[in-house]
Amino acid sequence: MTAQAKIQLVDVHKSFGSKSVLDGVTVDIAAGESFVVIGGSGTGKSVMLKCILGLMRPDQGSILVDGEETVGMAARDRERVLKKFGMLFQGAALFDSLSVWENVAFGLIQGLRMDRRKAHDKAIEKLYQVGLGADVAKLSPAELSGGMQKRVALARAIAAEPEIIFFDEPTTGLDPIMADVINDLIVKCVKELGATAVSITHDMHSARKISDRMAMLYHGKLIWVGRTADVDRSDSAYVDQFIHGRADGPIKMELRR
Amino acid sequence: MNFLAAVGRVFLGFLEHTGRLSVFTVVALSHCVRPPIYHRLIGRQMMEIGYFSLPVVGLTAIFTGMVLALQSHTGFARFSAEGAVATVVVLSVTRELGPVLAGLMVAGRIGAAMAAEIGTMQVTEQVDALVTLSTNPFKYLVAPRIIAGLLMLPCLVLVADIIGVFGGFLVGVYQLGYNPATYLHSSWEYLKPIDVISGLVKASVFGFVISLMGCYNGYHSRGGAQGVGQATTNAVVSASILILTSNYILTALFFNK
Ligand SMILES: Nc1ncnc2c1ncn2[C@@H]1O[C@H](COP(=O)(O)OP(=O)(O)OP(=O)(O)O)[C@@H](O)[C@H]1O
Ligand SMILES: [Mg+2]
């Protein structure tokens, strides 16, 4: 056993009513690595991230962050653990009662108790990193396009420079050039800040670019976990079909039934 | 058998609801008294509840006072008791109509707005985003609204009392031809501090109920725009019913000797 895993999931189960979404997910994510989860729409990728964050409680199994069990944790401990995390939500989830810069600076002001002035400057800097100028800082989120909202949410997720960052479809809805800028930003967060990143994406180009390791979620289990370089030699018909985006293959057979 | 099962289900549903509401209330109250307290947010809610409700509550109060003077004058004329009009107006307004009507109007205005705002935040994952930014939603969203409701409703009702009595005075003097000095004198003569104080205590309870119902229903709304609409309706209806129920209980406590 080498260095301790940053995040460890052991046999995590989650179902909604009779519908089982996660059915025994087990994985170790090392500190400082960039991990990408791929998988079809509705297979439970977002649910998996929410379970790790404690926004949803798994029915069974255990989730360790820095070796500390987080399932069923007391509220106070949970708050402490959450300080390590930054999360980009799939739907951006910006606070529409606050302006763009207040959104980005939210974690700095509320969580880290930073001075408003300093937090403002930091927010402008983070907005610049995601390709947005100071002119949007005073707007309200409702005045931005979908892709711009996504980038503001990204700036918010990385503003406090957390140890662990979750990106739920960071490049969806962006043009190819901006998507690549975001890819570079994610790589930079991992390489320069030493953060641990877990990303969900449907964009295979992006997945290959940002990840050290990949996993594929299918029918509630991670059916393949391996290094990104090995993804083309996975020996899994499911993974092959997914990364090449082919309509026919084992996954479609399941759909037809 | 089916009938019994249905009754059982309704009963269990009721218990579940009551339990959830009790837990919500206790958690919300505990966050009202534990630091950190968000002064800016409390201030904003106080403006919203207190200041911006003034026109609605003022209009309700003045017409209530006017109609009360008119009705009691014509009614009491049947047994030549017109001299009691001023007393009836002042007692009815301070003890009952001021708090209850202001409470109901504010429930429609503020309770609905709270449920809609928090409900929208819940279904668009903004509440989850708060949690990941190390901010407790109870502290940030619920506690300021409850504190503002508790404090501002008595202020509103005090204003409503004055405007209501003034409305009665206007009708009494200018339409029914009472002597202004005599009218004012008989308004004061039988008014005791407890009449006003009981009204203000009621107002505080109603303010609490309105905020609690708005926040509770908003917080537990699920399933998009429809769920938020349902939460808004539930907030107004449940707040109104609780206002009328608690009004009876408080009246019995204050005046049933
Ligand atoms: N709060 C919830 N209540 C009930 N069911 C839910 C809830 N959240 C998610 N689900 C169900 O869980 C399944 C997985 O949802 P999830 O959002 O994790 O999918 P996903 O893998 O992120 O898909 P996508 O790539 O489209 O974002 C879905 O089938 C969804 O119906
Ligand atoms: Mg998703």
- B24-57 tens-digit pLDDT: 888 888 888 888 788 888 999 999 998 999 999 9
Contact assessment for residue B68 and residue B168, using Cβ atoms and an 8 Å cutoff: yes
Q: What is the pLDDT of residue A116?
A: 87
Q: What average pLDDT does range A48-67 have in this prediction? A: 90
The sheet with strand A68-69 has its strands ordered as A19-29, A7-16, A60-65, A68-69
The sheet with strand A196-200 has its strands ordered as A85-88, A164-168, A196-200, A34-38, A213-218, A221-227
The closest of A133, A102, A132, A131 to A119, measured between CA atoms, is: A102
Range(s) of the domain holding residue B80:
38-255
> Does residue A36 have a pLDDT over 80?
yes
Does residue A114 sit in the same domain as residue A139? Answer: yes
Does residue A107 sit in the same domain as residue A181? Answer: no
Contact assessment for residue A245 and residue A257, using Cβ atoms and an 8 Å cutoff: no
**Beta carbons of B132 and A106 less than 8 Å apart:** no
Nearest to B125 among A93, A110, A156 (CB): A93
Domain end point (choices A146, A161, A176): A161
Does residue A11 sit in the same domain as residue A67? Answer: yes
What are the backbone angles phi and psi of residue B127, rounded to the nearest 5°? -65, -40
**What is the chain B residue with the closest CA to A160?**
B133
Q: What is the pLDDT of residue B47?
A: 92
> By CB neighbour count within 10 A (0-12 exposed, 13-18 middle, 19+ buried), where does A194 fall?
exposed
**Beta carbons of A89 and B117 less than 8 Å apart:** no
Taking the Cβ of residue A142 and every Cβ of chain B, the question of whether any pair is shorter than 8 Å is answered with no
Does residue A202 sit in the same domain as residue A214? Answer: yes
pLDDT digits (tens, 9 = 90+) for B167-201: 999 988 888 888 888 888 888 888 888 888 999 99
Question: Which residues of chain B carry a pLDDT beneath 70?
Answer: 1, 257
Domain end point (choices A114, A130, A161): A161
The three-state (H, E, C) secondary structure of B116-176, written as one string? HHHHHHHHCCHHHHHHHCCCCHHHHHHHHHHHHHHHHHHHHHHHHHHHHHHHHHHHHHHHC
3-state secondary structure of A216: strand
Does residue A116 sit in the same domain as residue A9? Answer: no
CA-nearest residue for atom 31, ligand 1, is A42
Domain end point (choices A161, A176, A198): A161
Residue B143 lies in a domain: yes
**Beta carbons of A107 and B121 less than 8 Å apart:** no
pLDDT classification of A242: cutoffs 50, 70, 90: confident
CA-nearest residue for atom 19, ligand 1, is A42
Taking the Cβ of residue B126 and every Cβ of chain A, the question of whether any pair is shorter than 8 Å is answered with yes
For ligand 2, an ion, list residues with CB under 5 A: A 46, 90
Strand partners, A28: A8
Q: Report the domain count for chain A.
A: 2
pLDDT digits (tens, 9 = 90+) for A174-208: 888 888 888 888 888 788 778 899 999 888 888 88
Does residue A9 sit in the same domain as residue A109? Answer: no
Does residue A23 sit in the same domain as residue A50? Answer: yes
Q: How far is the CA of A44 from the centre of ligand 2 (A)?
A: 7
Q: Which residues of B39-64 are buried (b: 16+ CB within 10 A; e: fewer)?
A: eebbeebbebbbeebeebbbebbbeb
Q: How far is the CA of A92 from the centre of ligand 1 (A)?
A: 16
Residues with C-beta less than 6 Å from any ligand 1 atom: A 16, 21, 39, 41-47, 90
Report residue A252 CA to chain centroid gap.
27
Give dist(CA A213, CA A226) in Å, integer: 6
Q: What is the pLDDT of residue A1?
A: 44
CA-nearest residue for atom 28, ligand 1, is A42
Give dist(CA A49, CA A152) in Å, integer: 20
Distance from CA of B214 to the nearest CA of A (A): 17
Q: Report the domain count for chain B.
A: 1
> Does residue A67 have a pLDDT over 50?
yes
Q: How far is the CA of B25 from the centre of ligand 2 (A)?
A: 32
Name, in order, each residue with C-beta under 8 angstroms of A131's C-beta and a sequence gap of 6 or more: A151, A178, A181
Contact assessment for residue A197 and residue A150, using Cβ atoms and an 8 Å cutoff: no
Does residue A137 sit in the same domain as residue A214? Answer: no
CATH classification at residue A235: 3.40.50.300
The closest of B231, B40, B237, B221 to B143, measured between CA atoms, is: B40
Range(s) of the domain holding residue A135:
88-161
Q: Give the type of residue at B93.
A: V
pLDDT digits (tens, 9 = 90+) for A72-121: 888 888 888 898 899 999 888 999 989 999 999 998 888 778 888 888 99
Report residue A69 CA to chain centroid gap.
20
**Ligand in nearest proximity to the CA of A44:** 1
CA-nearest residue for atom 20, ligand 1, is A42
Q: Which helix (H) or strand (E) holds A64?
A: strand A60-65
Q: What is the pLDDT of residue B145?
A: 94
